[in-house]
Amino acid sequence: MTTIHRIEVPIPFPLKSVNCYFVEDSIPTLIDTGVLSKEGFRLLKEGVMRTGNRIEDIKRIILTHGHTDHSGLAGELSSLSGAQVYIHCWDVNKTRRSDDGYIEEVKENFSRYFKEAGLPREVAEMIVAAVEDRYRRLVSPLPFHIPLKGGEVFRFDDFVMDVIHTPGHSAGSICLLIRERGILFSGDTLLPRITPNPISEVLAPEGEKSYKALEHFDRSLDRIGHLDVTLTYPGHGEPIRDHPRRVEELKSHHRSRKNLVLNILKNGCHGPETGMTQYQIAKRLFVNKKEVEMFLCLSEVRAHLEILEGEGLVERSMLQDSFVYLPTFR
């Protein structure tokens, strides 16, 4: 009988742990891996062994997205077990830890992003250095993968699992649906206690030069909100029992956050020469956040500014090297 086991693995980030799911089956499958770390590997190994299996038995690794806390150990596990690794094609680049040329490209794009956001140079350099350290220290090389596009089906002994592309938190985020059991693996698209951040893509996904994270995220929530699901297994935290309610809570949160960003602009801009940068808005929106966490804050602000700009409520211009934003109605 196919059985699903949740294994909590520690990560060196504020959320403290990530959920990995071991699907006990004739094709043993792992959904998400945690970061590359001795402690994470040990606890994941112990979790798999409690089911009567070994890490070496894993045949498939499915990544809900390419962020470090969900994919960092995939290369190491694949090397040990020979497991095939599946990841959406829009997130493949996030796993290219062994490619020094790619890391330099990422650093350059982060630097450009921070300059356009109006971030002070010393803060930008600190975050770029932290990003490089994260890639090199927490991600194992993944020399081979099988790209997903959405719509694929994974077959197990007792059910099938449908791949649903749900971009927003990450361009290549996916959810995995077991229709027969009403079960959804949501990755970070749906979390029980926190609002998934619509993270900016410093490298636009292939064929999506105008990728807008929150616009995609909102459509993804609509896509999964109507599914006939009774149990959702998220990337962090406890299972979700009422996913339509949680979807509506997230949509409501972003509606309120968008209005808050607009109000910050209206109160902070006193003329066409005094537009605000993403960084200035972020400092007012996230008062107590540390500077090292500023990329996530900027991503949130940018996501809402893109929506406001599309609705004609905000206009953007370039001042020196940074974008500045003004409300069109004061």
One-character DSSP codes across 90-157: GGGGGG-TT-HHHHHHHHHHHHHHHHHHT--HHHHHHHHHHHHHHHHHH-------EEE-S--EEE-S
Q: What residue spans define the domains of the chain?
A: 3-95+140-241, 257-327
Amino acid 288: pLDDT: 85
Q: 173, 216 in Cβ contact below 8 A?
A: no
Amino acid 319: pLDDT: 84
Q: Could you give the angle at which helices 121-138 and 100-117 cross, rounded to 10 degrees?
A: 150
One-character DSSP codes across 235-302: SSSSPBS-HHHHHHHHHHHHHHHHHHHHHHHHHH--STT--B-HHHHHHHHSTT--GGGHHHHHHHHH
Q: List the chain residues with pLDDT less than 50.
A: none
CA 296, distance to chain mean position in Å, is 11
CA angle 260, 243, 58 (to 5 degrees): 115
- Going by C-beta distance under 8 Å and a sequence separation of 6 or more, which residues neighbour residue 137? 36
Q: 21, 30 in Cβ contact below 8 A?
A: yes
Residue 10 host element (H or E): strand 3-10
Q: Cα(195)–Cα(129) distance, rounded to whole angstroms? A: 26
Q: Cα(77)–Cα(145) distance, rounded to whole angstroms? A: 12
- Going by C-beta distance under 8 Å and a sequence separation of 6 or more, which residues neighbour residue 126? 291, 292
Amino acid 261: pLDDT: 96
CB atoms within 10 A of CB 194: 13
Amino acid 329: pLDDT: 67
Adjacent-strand bridge partners of 159: none
Per-residue tokens: 77 = 């596990």
Residue with tokens 């949740």: 6
Written out in words, the top-level CATH class of the domain with range 3-95+140-241 is alpha beta
Residue with tokens 């927003």: 168
Domain 257-327 has CATH 3.30.70.20: no
Amino acid 64: pLDDT: 98
Amino acid 144: pLDDT: 87
Q: Cα(294)–Cα(113) distance, rounded to whole angstroms? A: 12
One-character DSSP codes across 118-134: T--HHHHHHHHHHHHHH
Adjacent-strand bridge partners of 176: 163, 185
Q: Mark 158-170 as b/e (b = at least 16 C-beta within 10 Å).
A: eeebbbbbbbbbb
Amino acid 100: pLDDT: 66
Q: 150, 88 in Cβ contact below 8 A?
A: yes
Q: 176, 131 in Cβ contact below 8 A?
A: no
Per-residue tokens: 319 = 């001042």
**Quick one: which of 74, 90, 59 has its CA closest to 139?**
74
Q: 195, 250 in Cβ contact below 8 A?
A: yes
For the chain, how many residues are written?
330
**Quick one: which of 184, 197, 196 has its CA closest to 240?**
184
Amino acid 313 reads L
**Quick one: which of 268, 247, 283 has its CA closest to 314?**
268
